[in-house]
Amino acid sequence: MRSIRIHASRVYDVMIGEGLLQESGRILRDLLPASQAAIVSDDRVFSFYGEQLKRSLEDTGFLTHCFIFPHGEASKNLTVYGQLLNFLSEKKLTRSDCIIALGGGVTGDLAGFAAATFLRGIDYVQVPTSLLAAVDSSVGGKTAVDLPGGKNQAGAFCQPAAVLFDPAVLRTLPIEEYRAGAAEVIKYAVLGNSDFFGSLEQTPIAGQLEDAVSVCVSMKRDLVEKDEYDRGDRMLLNFGHTLGHAAELISGYTLLHGEAVAMGMAHVTRAAERRGICEKGSAARLVRLLKQYELPTEIPYPAELLSAAVLSDKKRSGSTVRLIVPERIGQTVILPVSANEFPGWISGGYEGGLS
């Protein structure tokens, strides 16, 4: 088992290792004062791992309660959030009890936001079960639910008490979800680690899973420790996301998040190359790697539609879009682009557009 310590407003460990799910009761018994643990999970994930987690917790003396909701982003809303708060209240959880989020990013964000707000904040533990959750959403303390007006619009910063990732759980993850998670892994490599990019070109993520997750979590740790509240360097994690979110929105959320991010990364890298900001050949390397995971690398929407969607997105500050742009594989910068220049910027990112 390996462990990565995060020093944020709370200090906690991200533990990575086979068998952690079974060991979770013992580990959490030593870590938390809780006598009750509310397991929050979606129906799919719970059917695979819920009983195992419950048993492990009960074997070490926790009284457990299970809150299970229908899987999918559509459940990350105020209604399910309200049901969860009522559930915690009915079960009489106290401030020293805890929530365990067993699942992907939807579960982690929903359970984390409930933990941040129930009784003004109780402990929660992330047990990520998707690749995306393992490398991204379970670490760093961003919690949220979606509003009709947009994704993640109601939320709070609230760090977990611990993160337990057992790589064995990925064996049941649907292949398209694994690929979507791979887009986020590739994101880390492009934004700040060229050696890691080289290693991903040599070996698939599945062949170096624990190492790859550790590299991503360590990179996220560094950014979160510098900028927990997302006002500066943490924004680098949005590489590919400005255009990705726009593409997701235009698709009516039929694109998976990771697919949209893959398109966004490829697009912005091509546009940056075209403007002489990014080293030549970077986009081709990135596209080659994304294609190994059958991820899309071309945004199927015109520049005007994309610009309009980006300019209405919350990432905009005033009339400027802060675009995350690679200078080369392994190095990215935050580039302010004015709303006027933005459509022109985007039009340089289409595949046919590279000279």
Ligand X SMILES: NC(=O)c1ccc[n+]([C@@H]2O[C@H](COP(=O)([O-])OP(=O)(O)OC[C@H]3O[C@@H](n4cnc5c(N)ncnc54)[C@H](O)[C@@H]3O)[C@@H](O)[C@H]2O)c1
Site residues for ligand X per CB under 6 A: 42, 44-45, 48, 71-73, 76, 103-107, 109, 129-130, 132-133, 136-137, 140, 142, 151-152, 169-170, 172-174, 177, 180, 257
To the nearest whole angstrom, how small is the minimum distance from the Cβ of residue 237 to ligand X? 8
Q: Which is nearer to ligand X, 19 or 174 (CB)?
A: 174
One DSSP character per residue, 189-202 reads HHHH-HHHHHHHHH
Q: Nearer to ligand X by C-beta: 72 or 344?
A: 72
Least separation in angstroms between CB 189 and ligand X? 17
**Token output for 315:** 């990432």
**Would you say 96 or 172 has its CB closer to ligand X?**
172
Quick one: DSSP state of residue 353?
G
Q: How far is the CB of 334 from ligand X (least distance, A)?
A: 18
Q: How far apart are CA 340 and CA 355, in angstroms?
A: 24
Nearer to ligand X by C-beta: 155 or 349? 155
Minimum CB distance to ligand X smaller for 129 or for 193? 129
Q: Where are the beta strands (DSSP E) in the chain?
A: 2-7, 11-16, 36-42, 63-69, 98-103, 123-128, 142-147, 150-157, 162-165, 320-328, 331-338
What's the closest the beta carbon of residue 15 comes to ligand X, in angstroms?
17
Calpha distance 165→263 (Å, rounded)? 28
Nearest Cα neighbor of 66 from 29, 45, 47, 41 is 41
Least spacing, CB of residue 215 vs ligand X, in Å = 17
In the complex with ligand X, which residue's Cβ is closer, 56 or 130? 130
Residue sitting closest to ligand X (CB) = 105
Q: Using the 8-state DSSP alphabet, how is residue 325 labeled?
A: E
Q: In whole angstroms, how close is the CB of 216 to ligand X at the nearest point?
A: 12
Residues near 74 by beta carbon (within 8 Å), at least 6 away in sequence? none
Smallest gap from residue 302 Cβ to ligand X (A): 26
Q: Give 133 or 283: the residue with its C-beta nearer to ligand X.
A: 133
Secondary structure (DSSP) of 242-298: HHHHHHHHHTTS-S-HHHHHHHHHHHHHHHHHHTTSS-TTHHHHHHHHHHHTT---S
Query: How does DSSP classify residue 205?
Result: G
Give min distance, CB of 97 to ligand X, in A. Answer: 22
Q: Choose between 278 and 324: whose C-beta lies nearer to ligand X.
A: 324
Give the whole-angstrom CA distance, residue 232 versus residue 169: 34
